[in-house]
Amino acid sequence: ELFKPFVIKRLIDLGHSQNIKAAKRAVERMRPEVWDVLEEIIRERPVLLNRAPTLHRLGIQAFEPQLVEGKAIQLHPLVCAAFNADFDGDQMAVHLPLSVEAQAEARVLMLASNNILKPSDGRPVTLPSQDMIIGLHHLTTVKEGAVGEGRAFGSVGEAILAKDEGTLDLQAKVRIRIPGLTFLEGEAPEGYERHGLVDTSLGQAIFNDTLPKGYPFVRGVADKGKLSQIVNKLAEEYPKVETAASLDRIKDAGFYWATRSGVTVALSDVVTPPNKGEIVAGYEKQAEKVQGQYDKGLITDAERRRELIQIWTAATDDVQAAMMANFPVDNTINRMVSSGARGNWLQIRNIAGMRGLVNNPKGELIPRPIISSYREGLSVAEYFIATHGTRKGLADTALRTADSGYLTRRLVDVSQDVIIREDDCGTSKGLEMQIAAPNSAGELVRDANVENSVFART
């Protein structure tokens, strides 16, 4: 429909149709030559995709369209974060730039492969997420005592053959010869000689194949943080075409190995700590003691509330620590959270540990906690006090969206005539960020958070 006028013109030019009416009829009947013409026309013609609400520059991006079966727009998974899109029925608008200038602007400035970094802070926006992270985490994890541990291979291909034969596990510790390897400073294994055998796993070697030639060999498990650093380095040091190609390979590997990892969640994966009862009983005694002091008139109501809140906050933290220590390393929920694929420990605490303290309708903490977890099920009283916070949360979400939208409009209105004319404004005001610090031997050691704190900020 979008390219209909162009298709009609081209059909007439090629002599497939004598006039506009005949060409229109050919398009409506979807004759075979129409598809060939359409494919020819869409080549090198970018289209603009926009998802409402357009809250920032990356809400509209340019793409080179491909013909697909069906009526749904098929979107690249890595650009979903920029659009805040998901695959549950989102609608997007498609625009076709007509003039040569508009097409050039779309290609140079707006093409998705040229918008890998966020304009706000210079960090990558096209990061692997969810399925991709869990797949790459599975691929790069090393398992003790796996089949084929300790073997040596002359090449990655040789190791893949051994895996296909069933004599080598993807996650087994092995030694593989990988020619032309380089390592990041301080990451080379002890005793490694150039072109020699490197201690790794087949999974880690396969993951490194997705990165550009000459990229330093990545050792260790690829979780969300490690992948973010890799994409940062790619965007910073490699051409855009190569970065986009590498991101595509990382995405494909993530989905492929997520499928083959067999990740599932069952009720038995929600493991409640066995010593939860003891922990809660200990804090219950402390709470009774405080309540007794209040009943005798030794402390005020405000002091009682404060002490009870402190006691039950500590109890919740202890239950969470016990729960995290009790989760097996290969537990699916543990893998999802620790890899950064989905969820956080607070959510898992609510499901497997204890819900803890909740707010009343005024927004104050109720000094009596919800001791049950969702896995165990809440009592009637616990469920009732939990509804206050839930209801307030849902109401706030609706109200906050409207308020923040209005604020954004006012901010844009007041600042639209401000023009930034230089990269560095030369101000002496700002925050000092430590990028390195001397260690005990007096050598400068790079700060662990330097990537996040200083990168691409002015």
CATH code at position 299: 1.10.132.30
Residue 441 has a pLDDT of 78
Instruction: State which H helix or E strand residue 446 sits in.
Output: strand 444-446
Residue 217 has pLDDT above 90, yes or no: no
How many distinct structural domains can be found in the chain?
3
Tens-place pLDDT, residues 225-238:
899 889 888 888 88
Q: Is residue 139 part of a domain?
A: yes
Q: Is residue 195 part of a domain?
A: yes
CATH code of the domain containing 58: 2.40.40.20
Q: What is the mean pLDDT of residues 144-157?
A: 86
Q: Is residue 414 part of a domain?
A: no
Could you tell me if 357 and 312 are in contact, meaning their C-beta atoms sit under 8 angstroms apart?
yes
Q: What b-and-e string marks burial along 190-200, b requiring 16 or more CB atoms within 10 Å of the CB? A: eeeeeeebbbb
Query: Residues 281, 344: one domain?
Result: yes
Query: Residues 75, 179: one domain?
Result: no
Residue 450 has a pLDDT of 66
**How far is residue 28 from each of residues 6, 21, 34, 69, 228, measured CA to CA in Å?**
14, 11, 9, 17, 47
List the domain range (segments joined by +) for residue 32.
Answer: 4-111
Q: Which of 223, 171, 221, 180 is nearest to 198 (CA)?
A: 180
Q: Is the pTM of this model over 0.75?
A: yes
Q: Which of 348, 367, 269 is nearest to 310 (CA)?
A: 367
Measured CA to CA, the distance from residue 365 to residue 346 in angstroms comes to 17
Query: Residues 369, 301: one domain?
Result: yes
Query: Residues 202, 324: one domain?
Result: no
Query: Residues 275, 225: one domain?
Result: no
Measured CA to CA, the distance from residue 173 to residue 219 in angstroms comes to 12
Q: Is residue 121 part of a domain?
A: no
Residue 188 has a pLDDT of 65
Residue 186 has a pLDDT of 62
Measured CA to CA, the distance from residue 34 to residue 42 in angstroms comes to 12
Query: Residues 216, 248: one domain?
Result: yes
Residue 46 has pLDDT above 70, yes or no: yes
Query: Residues 210, 320: one domain?
Result: no
Tens-place pLDDT, residues 240-284:
888 889 999 999 999 999 999 889 999 999 999 999 999 999 999
From 357, 378, 399, the end of a domain falls on 378
Q: Is residue 117 part of a domain?
A: no
Q: Is residue 122 part of a domain?
A: no
Tens-place pLDDT, residues 365-417:
889 899 999 999 999 999 999 998 888 888 888 888 777 888 888 988 998 88
Measured CA to CA, the distance from residue 167 to residue 156 in angstroms comes to 15
Query: Residues 177, 107: one domain?
Result: no
Return mean pLDDT, the chain: 85
Long-range contact set of residues 406-413: C-beta below 8 Å, sequence gap at least 24: 408/55
Query: Residues 324, 370: one domain?
Result: yes
Q: Is residue 419 part of a domain?
A: no
Q: Is residue 346 part of a domain?
A: yes
Measured CA to CA, the distance from residue 169 to residue 91 in angstroms comes to 43
Residue 34 has pLDDT above 70, yes or no: yes
